[in-house]
Homo-oligomer: A and B are copies of this chain.
Amino acid sequence: MDDVIARLECAARLEELQSIIETLRDHYAVDDMVYHWVSSTGEQYGCGTYDPNWVTRYLERGYLRIDPVVIGCYQRFHPVDWKRLDWSGKAARAFMQDASEHGVGNQGYSIPIRGPNGQFALFTVSHTCDDDEWESFTELNRRDLILLAHYFNQTALNLEPGRKPEATQPLSPREVETMTLLAVGYSRAQVAETLSISEHTLRVYIESARFKLGALNTTHAVARAMARGQIVV
């Protein structure tokens, strides 16, 4: 565990995660272990020990939007045993059938993990065994798995290319107030009244904020300010 975390912390390339996760799989003596970055725009990144055919099939068929594990974890915070998910529904059943035909175990435990800007990933352990055995496995290793999920995600985020700092021009206090109030639904007139300034002055703030944020319109400016953490809503 300790040396795995050390390896994760000093990994310099995403490819290293693959061998680390294989080591872990062997260490915990389970069938499969997977980390995957879940994104609406196709899989950003994933590593693990699933059959490559299954991974391909999963992506091709858009199982991301069907998989009860993904759907369920997206709404939860705590790690979840696959048994406790909602497998009713035709699509889910078919998916489960297909998965087991591709070698996915009957037991599973998935840990949702989230990063800045809505980043979302899953760390999953899967195995074939009876319920009691699985229960004791997850009980015993829950904390390890949570930590592993954390460190895997940390490494993936660090190594993700699109993480460039992108010198964000700081907003002035008034601009921050303006963007914040707009983000919580105030109209321009209301913001102006709230800040006790003329609506025209307000416009100046919006425009300068838009300029600083490189935004095309007010909505864009607010979205960017939020995404960059320049306002907290």
Please give me the residue from chain B that is nearest to A170 by CB atom.
Answer: B89
Instruction: Tell whether A227 is near chain B: CB-to-CB under 8 Å.
Output: yes
Instruction: Give the residues in chain B near A65, CB-CB below 8 Å.
Output: 176, 180, 231-232
Q: Is the CB of B226 within 8 A of A223?
A: yes
Copies per assembly: 2
Contact mask for chain A residues 34-66; partner B; CB cutoff 8 A; 1 contact, 0 none: 000011110000000000000000000000110
Interface residues of A in 5-48 (CB under 8 A from B): 5, 38-41
Cα distance A118–B115 when bound, in Å?
A: 10
Contact yes or no, A229 B147, CB < 8 A: no
Q: Which of A164-217 contact B (CB under 8 A)?
A: 167-168, 170, 173, 176, 180, 182-187, 215-217
Q: How many interface residues does A have (CB within 8 Å)?
A: 59
Given the complex, which residues of B lie within 8 Å of A216, measured CB to CB?
185-187
Q: Which of B39, B118, B217 contacts A226 (CB 8 A)?
A: B118
A84 touches B (CB below 8 Å): no
| Residues on the B chain within 8 Å of A154, using CB | 77-78
Interface string of A115-127 (1 = CB under 8 A from B): 1111110000000
Binds B, one of A68-76, A96-104, A129-137: A68-76
Complex CA–CA separation, A144 to B167 (angstroms): 30
Query: Taking beta carbons and an 8 Å cutoff, which residues of A are in contact with B?
Result: 5, 38-41, 64-65, 70-71, 74-78, 89, 91, 112, 114-120, 143, 146-147, 150, 153-154, 157-158, 167-168, 170, 173, 176, 180, 182-187, 215-220, 222-223, 226-229, 231-233
The 8 closest A-B pairs by CB, nearest first: A185-B220, A185-B216, A114-B114, A183-B223, A75-B229, A74-B229, A77-B115, A118-B229
